[in-house]
Structure 1
Amino acid sequence: MAITDKSDKEIIEIVEPMIDDVVNASNKKDWSLFSQYQTDEEANDPENRKSVERQWKESRLLTSLNPEREILGVLRREDMALVYWKQTSNKVSGEYLASYHIKEVNKEIKEVGFLIV
């Protein structure tokens, strides 16, 4: 069954532990934990790593994410599922829209995008 054929509940159950790890890794600036669900190409791309580490240095938000979240919904695009939630920080005021994009790659669920705006 393709990821896009799963119910919202099933997709959220798959993604929540992945998001927990990525949020925790971002707060700790831990690249190996942060990249563990990325495709091999992304995880091993030095430019990708440099970009993420630069964002960790420049953005207080990205290193102070609250682990609690309010899931807003799931969208499906071609072979991807996108989970959206309300993200907050313990150092930066306000609410932010976060999204985590997954798809199946070689029979494994992989992250193909993580954004906070």
Structure 2
Amino acid sequence: MMPVLRRNLAATAEAAETARTWIRTAISAGHPRISVTDAAYITAEMVTAALVHTPEGGLIEVHLFPARSGGLVIKVTDPNVPVGPHPGDWARISCIARNFGAGATAEGSHVMWCELPEVPSP
């Protein structure tokens, strides 16, 4: 089982690509039954949404952890008000993810998450 992993990203133009590269490596090494392509796409979309709402010098956190029912949860947190990806992005994410959502943390930060199912073995 994949351990809980976390990556802090500076709120820069490169954050989405950095997150995409990091999640590809993490999943390939620790959770091969998750679609790397889907995970990288969803992570980049959530980080891009977080960038819009993160002040210069702020940090975006990306967490990966096993889902209770198998699969993987990707969670992205930024320090600002709750706003998720654009509705069109959520539409595509809903076709890939088992479950997804957005809201506020107890500290007042914004969090987006999605749960990816495992890909069936061939």
TM-score scaled to structure 1, two decimals? 0.33
- Higher helix proportion: 1
Question: Does 1 or 2 have the higher relative contact order (CA < 8 Å, sep 6+)?
Answer: 2
- In the superposition, the TM-score normalised over structure 2's length comes to 0.32
